[in-house]
Chain A
């Protein structure tokens, strides 16, 4: 075993990259759930973002256009869900699951001509001398723009929900849609906006996989990241800061276990492979024990709303 071969700097840098897709998707889903909607279609929206982003980046030659297209793709998928659940009042759980299945199928259809093609991935932002600072240079300043976007978005979502009038309305809609409606807020409109935002975030997270982390398109490549993002929202008890910690924890353990294996650590490989899931479950249990009141879920989460009732 040669643990000195693991460089903490590179480990932290690569865990940030590994965590970014689930962080983005989980932030979006958190806002959706704060508005009282349970969208289980994160995986489907992510993979649609992954494929539309990749196609756009190939066709236009611009990675930026790819990310924009991915957000649009994810948002369109989400609005499909929004239309079904908010306008036609379909069951949110069933519709969300259907959205995942639909996204997986449609993405493989759309991506058929794009298998095995390479995309010029985003380069790391070069901050000159800042990147040369020992340790912090690589960890803090050595990333591609989306890593910073995801961290900034975490702060923005936190600030929006905590300090702004819009955030207050959104939370009110999620806690008690009837009260919000009685006060004259447009429950359906707020929820549709939140759903579209969630879809855009999931799409961006998916595109990060195809455009930066892998970077290529292959069918089914999200491989369950959307479900981890969903679990993360509960894990984080609907708090933006905890979503960030949770995503980095999960990404960190995934990367750490691969590094430990490479370094020849004498730990059973099966245990290492299962570690991210085991730790997630463990922390989840600890948090919910401490909360001790069924968590902090928005009171109207998953309940359909119609103005006539």
Chain B
């Protein structure tokens, strides 16, 4: 009985989909968020993208969103609800929504689904998208290498997944490039978001002489811990993560890596409206405007800032790839020959440290 009702709903939706194709209706765009839009990080940035869609298309679109959706069975219910509610395209913005998104997509073939940071596209109406955060980390790594005086930089890592390992390798490679003495300390927090633990991790690093902290967790707590240390006579720098975190500038926050989803959302909704929409696998970066470096503050010397900006320009115009050989793996075996550029397949499955990094990646 339930299945019948669902099917009826799907058919009804198919009809409204057809009506929409004739241009009689507003395009309805749905967003499913893992956190609150006020988290100041990941979800906040996705919501900024939603607002950009509204601004770009005005009356022609209607957006709906749902915050704090747990990854799991609840997600499937929320996505189904959104599809039944007449959404034409639904963006699900967390890795854990991968299976729920594909499950719901099977039941609503006329609704388009877009899953962030996933790799499963089991149905023709499912696309995936992600951003090349490692491009931004090359820039922050360069700044970190120049700014450290103790030659010890820290990286607060979340989970041992390829995206984070790309980030660690990219920042380390570029810090070493400008400062051969630099050492990187990686601390695994095993969380995306736990302010107290992130603050403790930052403090442990500061106590052990780390003076530049990069983070791959979402709260501003490490910046707050660094600020406290600076007020007590320390000299510690941090970077904003996912969003700008400008509240902690100019000291300790000296730059930031920002996820800007607006260009992608505007493009995809636009394609849906003019009928050119196709299933895609998107992995945009600086050239697409999806990875942005926030303002580099005056704490950073002018020549370092210029070097960072040159790198941003080179990555943006495609003349530089952060993973360009010669690069060896941690155990010394060659990975990339001189001038060779890493292929996306290796990057997407990255599970090794590059030469010079100490410690092991947890399994």
A219 touches B208 (CB 8 A): no
B204 within 8 A of A: yes
Within 8 Å CB of B204, what residues of A?
14, 255, 258-259, 261-262
Question: Taking each of A209, A223, A258, A264, which has the highest tally of chain B beta carbons within 10 Å of its own beta carbon?
Answer: A258
Interface residue A181 (Cβ < 8 Å from any Cβ of B)? no
Q: Are A269 and B36 in contact (CB under 8 A)?
A: no
Interface bin, chain B: 35 or more
Are A263 and B196 in touch, CB under 8 angstroms?
no
Q: Which residues in B have their C-beta under 8 angstroms from that of A270?
A: 190, 362-363
Which chain A residues border B228 with CB–CB below 8 Å?
A: 121, 215
Which residue from B38, B193, B197, B209 sits with its C-beta under 8 Å from A112?
Answer: B38
* Residues in A whose Cβ lies below 8 Å from that of B203: 14
CB-nearest residue of chain B relative to A254? B200
Known interface pairs A7-B207, A213-B199, A255-B204; A219-B38 also in contact (CB < 8 Å): yes
- Distance between Cα atoms of A219 and B228 in the complex (Å): 21
Report yes or no: B208 in contact with A6, Cβ–Cβ below 8 A: yes
Q: How far is the CA of A172 from the CA of B201 in the complex (A)?
A: 44
In the complex, A258 Cα to B201 Cα: how many Å? 6
Cβ of A279 within 8 Å of any chain B Cβ, yes or no, is no
B221 close to A214 (CB less than 8 A): yes
* B254 interface residue per 8 A CB criterion: no
Range of interface residues on chain A?
35 or more
Q: Nearest chain-A residue to B362 (Cβ)?
A: A269
Most buried by B among A219, A221, A255, A269: A269
A62 near B: Cβ within 8 Å? no
Of residues 208 to 252 in A, which have CB atoms within 8 Å of B's CB atoms? 209, 213-216, 218-221, 223, 225
Q: Shortest beta-carbon distance, B252 to chain A, in Å?
A: 12
CA distance A31 to B204 in the complex (A): 33
The CA of A209 and the CA of B195, in the complex, are separated in Å by 9
CB–CB A216/B221 < 8 A = yes
List the 9 closest A-B pairs by CB distance, nearest first: A115-B38, A258-B204, A269-B362, A5-B208, A116-B40, A10-B207, A259-B204, A214-B195, A261-B187
A-B contact pairs, 14 of them (CB 8 A): A6-B208, A10-B207, A18-B196, A108-B36, A118-B224, A216-B220, A218-B195, A221-B196, A255-B204, A261-B186, A262-B205, A262-B208, A264-B185, A269-B188
